[in-house]
Amino acid sequence: MTHPNLTIVDHPLVQHKLALMRDVRTPSQDFRRLLREISLLLTYEAARDLPLADQRITTPLTDMDAPMLAGADPVVVSILRAGNGLLDGVLDVIPTAKVGFVGLYRDEATLKPVQYYCKLPPEMRGRLVIAVDPMLATGNSSAAAVSLLKEAGASDICLICLLAAPEGVECMAREHPDVRIVTASLDSHLNEKGYIVPGLGDAGDRIFGTV
Ligand code: URA
């Protein structure tokens, strides 16, 4: 099963930066910078349908009706902790976005995601909500985070992830077929430890240097 709303951004700049990030020799400071740059480029795709309305402005030469962003500011929600590596890139291109955070851990007995933190902007209805998590692996935590966003009223949700595994895409297609996914790559598979292959390792460790 593929996800009806999956977009793979195959732009050469994205693919080049992703290859640098996958390389095991790339140090944390470069990894962080590249992730921020790629997240900015993925946001460009995620924000493609934002509404515009003409506003009267004056250029140095004449008056004109210029299309500008209309409607409520988007919301970006970081799925902790690795989502924070994508957050600043989104805010670089949508500086007026409101910011939320969702923290989930995996219960070792049930293997189900458990919420330990959730702080969202008060009004989620009628806004584009961009959830960010670099790795869509099993999809369990992303799907749980998206359920929290829906419970808070969000209905226009886009998940930005750097890498996706087929298993994660299928999980999202099953549980949230209405949610768009924007990624730089659909990788081959998950290994027995739940890592994306070929992947780039543990995204949080590589961002924060906790390897
Ligand atoms: N989370 C990661 O950080 N890396 C993977 O490969 C899978 C999940």
Q: Which domains does the chain have, with CATH numbers?
A: 6-48+74-205 (3.40.50.2020)
Q: Can you tell me which atom of ligand 1 is nearest the CA of 205?
A: 3
DSSP 110: T
> Is 137 touching ligand 1 by the criterion CB < 6 Å?
yes
Please report which confidence band the pLDDT of residue 1 belongs to, taking 50, 70 and 90 as the band edges.
low
Residue located nearest, by CA, to atom 2 of ligand 1: 202
Q: 173 pLDDT exceeds 80?
A: yes
DSSP 124: -
Q: What is the pLDDT of residues 153-164, one digit of tens each?
A: 999 999 999 999
pTM of the model: 0.95
Please report which confidence band the pLDDT of residue 105 belongs to, taking 50, 70 and 90 as the band edges.
confident
Lowest mean pLDDT among 59-68, 106-115, 169-178: 106-115
Among 127, 128, 131, CA closest to 148: 131
d(CA 42, CA 8): 9
Mean pLDDT score across all residues of the chain = 95
